């Protein structure tokens, strides 16, 4: 597992990203590719360790990810990986886990495209005729945006991630009708 993890870390540019909030540019650097191994006494200890560890902050000025191989006895093992959302999304997690699995099974997956190559292709696109056409299209399309989404019967005013719930009290008759409809195999309007 150690070697599979080292190879996976070497292949993923995002795991090498260093974000410094006081600098205009960011940098890639070397990272600790080792996979710490921890032995825990019980599954409950493993759960507590993961819960505590995953609540610790990650991000700029700190580490962007961490990993560990956790063991309970000789036959229960868990791979722990916690990443900051700045370097990972669902698709990149799938790619990382698939690559780790391939390397663990001693396959040789093709090396992923370097992020620097992606940035070059984006820079080329941004000055292309197609980018100009795309910009014109989306500017026109979004000129009159749709109304804000209404959640739980209330218009969202604050753009934060806060959530407001509205509870609706319904009559006993309506509740009974809904209960009856939910038992039908099919219904028509």
* C-beta neighbour count of 89 within 10 angstroms: 11
Integer Cα distance of 32 and 34 in angstroms: 6
Task: Report pLDDT for 153.
Answer: 59
Judging by beta carbons within 10 Å of its beta carbon (0-12, 13-18, 19+), is residue 99 exposed, middle or buried? buried
pLDDT of residue 61: 67
What are the two backbone dihedrals, phi and then psi, of residue 76, each rounded to the nearest 5 degrees? Answer: -120, 120
Phi first, then psi, for residue 156 (nearest 5°) are -80, 120
- Give the per-residue pLDDT at 166: 58
Exposure on the CB side of residue 142, measured as CA atoms within 13 A: 6
Residue 106 pLDDT = 92
pLDDT 10s digits, 85-130:
888 888 888 889 999 999 999 998 888 877 778 878 888 999 999 9
What is the pLDDT, as a whole number, of residue 49?
93
Residues of the chain under the 70 pLDDT cut? 20-30, 60-62, 149-168, 186-189
């Amino acid at each position: 597992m150690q070697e599979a993890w080292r190879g996976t870390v070497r292949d993923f540019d995002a795991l090498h990203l260093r974000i410094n909030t006081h600098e205009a540019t960011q940098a890639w650097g070397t990272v600790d590719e080792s996979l710490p191994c921890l032995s825990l006494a019980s599954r409950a200890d493993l759960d507590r360790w993961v819960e505590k560890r995953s609540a610790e902050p990650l991000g700029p000025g700190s580490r962007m990810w961490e990993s560990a191989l956790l063991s309970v006895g000789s036959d229960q093992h868990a791979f722990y990986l916690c990443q900051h959302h700045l370097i990972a999304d669902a698709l990149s997690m799938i790619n990382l886990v698939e690559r780790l699995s391939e390397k663990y099974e001693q396959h040789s997956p093709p090396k992923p495209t370097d992020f620097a190559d992606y940035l070059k292709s984006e820079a080329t696109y941004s000055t292309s005729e197609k980018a100009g056409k795309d910009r014109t299209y989306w500017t026109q399309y979004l000129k009159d945006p749709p109304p804000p989404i209404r959640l739980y019967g209330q218009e969202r005013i604050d753009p934060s991630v806060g959530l407001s719930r509205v509870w609706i009290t319904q009559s006993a008759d309506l509740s009974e009708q809904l209960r009856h409809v939910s038992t039908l195999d099919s219904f028509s309007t």
